[in-house]
Amino acid sequence: MATFVLVPGGWHGAWAFDPVVPLLERAGHTVHALTPTGLRPDDDVARVATANLDTHADDVLRLLDRAHVTDATLVGHSYGGMVIAAAADRAGGRVTRIVHLDAYVPRDGESCWSSTSDGYREKFLAGAASNGYAVLPPPGGDPRRRPHPLASFTQAIRLTGAVDRVPRREFVYCSGWADGTPFTHLRARLQADPSWRVHDLPTAHNAMREAPKAVAELLATPIPAAPAERT
């Protein structure tokens, strides 16, 4: 059975995976859903203002330490893809599978800001206009969403190449966005890379809410490791 660490996207907490967690647990898996620093209800202004991508990667590494996990599957949704890439790169071989669930798959030096669409950059700027350090959630959506630390969206990731040695690397492309996905070019890039497995789901971005059974089945289905990355 697998041990999953689930990392939500921007503005979200562990609750974003509530529909999926019991399905994985009933199948016998161990599941840890994470709320990153700065997005917890009791986080003060200082935590929100100072949290960045490194902070969130460290959240994952501390969880691995606390739970004594040595064979983790990291799942990141949307912005969470940045987090799991950084954490897997630093985990010292404790991560054996990463799943980017309609999520950013960064290369060294990239950020969520540099990787996203103009529309999302506009949302980041507008959301941070009131205080300059936290991005308010876009209008509508789940009321549990919280202001997201701006620095985590803008910090460039630093990768040593260790993440490229994770045996199983997967990208899930959600094709049902009503307003257009920012991940089309990423999907094409990863489909051309034999070291990645690419899956398609006909849902909008929040696949965990729209199709929890399909997400749980995809995560719980073991697949062979892809060929090693070409050098």
Encode pLDDT of 54-76 as tens digits. Answer: 999 999 999 999 999 999 999 99
Contact 132, 82 (CB under 8 A): no
In angstroms, the CA 198 to CA 194 distance is 10
| Sign of CA pseudo-dihedral 195, 201, 205, 209 | negative
Range ranked top by mean pLDDT from 22-31, 116-125, 180-189: 22-31
pLDDT at residue 230 in the model: 46
Question: What residue type is assigned to position 20 of the chain?
Answer: V
pLDDT at residue 177 in the model: 87
Domain regions of the chain by residue span: 3-220
Name beta bridge partners: 32: 5
In angstroms, the CA 104 to CA 84 distance is 10
Tell me which CATH homologous superfamily contains domain 3-220. Answer: Alpha/Beta hydrolase fold, catalytic domain (3.40.50.1820)
* Burial readout 79-88 (b: 16 or more C-beta within 10 A, e: otherwise): bbbbbbbbbb
pLDDT at residue 180 in the model: 76
Bin 156: left if φ > 0, else alpha if -120 < ψ < 50, else beta: beta
pLDDT at residue 178 in the model: 67
